Structure 1
């Protein structure tokens, strides 16, 4: 039996914070009706996968997405704060377009310019996000050698982490993760691999919005 871990990663389904343009971790934002349908569609896509565990961030939108996946047999959801979205400090929960623009600038610096020192206000640096997300994925890998699991997270924290771990670089910029579309990430014991990055289908105003 191979020890190769397979992770089906996905961004949470559409949620209220996306519709309102609210930035930050936004822990209490629930799924929209459209989001619930997206989560159910993701469950159908994964129905034949030999999934042994589902992990999500502690954000309501991620947990609700993950809970729709528990229609798969005998699966439970483990919520982990380490999988949460990028923190933007004192601007958490803002709808200010200027802060959203600054967030996009910071993500561009992290992903395209490889400058992880940037941050929004007193929020997390790219180093902070990459460290917590990488440690969490390694923890999951150590717990599930040779298995298939699901990780439900967020657009910015997943993108910066997987762009680095899978050596995708700036090619992921401009193709933000669509809502609730599973894509495969593999760990072979030495390196991470992302066989394909999902194509974006979000409106331009929502691209790379945490």
Structure 2
């Protein structure tokens, strides 16, 4: 088995509270978000995380920094490919219609596979999926399978809720954490993990709840999803 990536959406941020649409890289965590990031660190404690990857957006890097400090992880790597989906000229809008259109487009990507759709002059699903896939590919390449194991590493069982990192297992490629965004992570994983899309639509990623995505040397697998009580 290859690398295990414990993915999570960033903790609560100012743009979410204000209802502002778009990628919004400068948006920071709220006080509640900082507390959520600390809680995520406790969920990840003992999972054997050796490195943390994060979107280059401020809220993702802040989430990653809080987790890294709590776990004593020295290496945090920012990846621009993990940023939230872009909506072009509508970036920063507070119009509910724009948020509704964004959800509509995301559904067309995730459920219907219509990756050519976009919000206004923003990114298509093809562009978002390609960059997220590139980020995961770079992580897999950076953590090749090795004969050594970490005694505290865990893996989620398909019948468990994903708030629990899982049961002991061997992960020769190691375990890392990844902090991303609800839209781009959902779009990317719906393609990388075959059959995931329609199954998880309507269960948006909550803030700062880790779930495992695993590379077996051939394909990515996502056995569970935080907003679902169990796989369905």
Q: Please report the TM-score for the alignment, with normalisation by the length of structure 2.
A: 0.83
1:187 maps to: 215
Counterpart for residue 9 of structure 2: 11
State the match for 1:152 in structure 2.
179
Please give the secondary structure, in 2, of the residue aligned with 1:124. Answer: coil
CA contact (8 A) 1:177 1:200 kept: no
- Asked whether the 8 Å contact 2:40–2:67 carries over to 1, the reply is yes
- Structure 2's unaligned 5+ residue stretches are 145-172
- How far 1:200 sits from its partner (Å)? 6.2
Sort the Cα spacing of 1:74 and 1:112 in 2 relative to 1 into closer, same or farther, 3 A: closer
Instruction: Report the secondary structure of 2:105's partner residue.
Output: helix
- Select which of 204, 215, 218 maps to 1:176: 204
> 2:12 & 2:125 partners in 1: Cα distance?
24
> How far does residue 163 in structure 1 lie from its aligned partner after superposition?
1.3
CA contact (8 A) 2:49 2:73 kept: no
Taking only aligned residues, the RMSD between alpha carbons, in angstroms, comes to 1.2
Structure 1, unpaired ranges of 5+: 202-210
Post-superposition Cα deviations, 1:66-99, rounded to whole Å, max 9, x if no partner, equal 0011121242211111110000011111111111
1:1-210 aligned within 5 A: 2=1, 4-70=2-68, 71-145=70-144, 146-167=173-194, 168-199=196-227
Instruction: Report the secondary structure of 2:179's partner residue.
Output: strand
In structure 1, the partner of 2:152 is: none
TM-score in terms of structure 1 length = 0.92
* 1:25 counterpart SS class: coil
